Amino acid sequence: MPKLQGKTAVITGGSRGIGLATAKAFCREGANVVIFGRGKEDLDAALAEIGGDAIAVQGDVTRTPDLDRLVQTVVDRRLKADGGRIQSPARRTALCLDSRIQGTQGLEICQKQKNTG
């Protein structure tokens, strides 16, 4: 059985470079991959490379509404099917997602966690 079978991985910057390579590796290991990036064309091309049932969400990590939409997409399309948690060591940004933490409040909590260690 693949190491990441049944796990959900959210990868910011997942349409190019290290993010794309990480997304492809996680998918090969059985993860349900969600990539997040700014350019629709790059995201579409990345989905074609990743294969499987990866999901792309277009947005900017500096915009709270985009992050809220990412969280809602992950909750609606992945977490409910995967048992309720994102379990991924790959974080290209300080973004933390958990089914118990959503929206701006969740981002503030995660930022505090990052700052305190």
Q: Which numeric CATH code is attached to 8-112?
A: 3.40.50.720
Helix (H, G, I), strand (E, B) or coil at 101: strand
DSSP 8-state code for residue 87: -
> Residue 72: its pLDDT value, please?
86
Mean pLDDT over 8-29 rounds to 91
- Where do the structural domains in the chain lie, given as residue ranges? 8-112
Length of the chain: 117
C-alpha 75/C-alpha 29 separation (Å) is 21
Residue 45 clears pLDDT 70, i.e. is over it = yes
Residue 71 clears pLDDT 50, i.e. is over it = yes
Q: How far is CA 27 from CA 2, 5, 65, 103, in A?
A: 10, 9, 27, 26
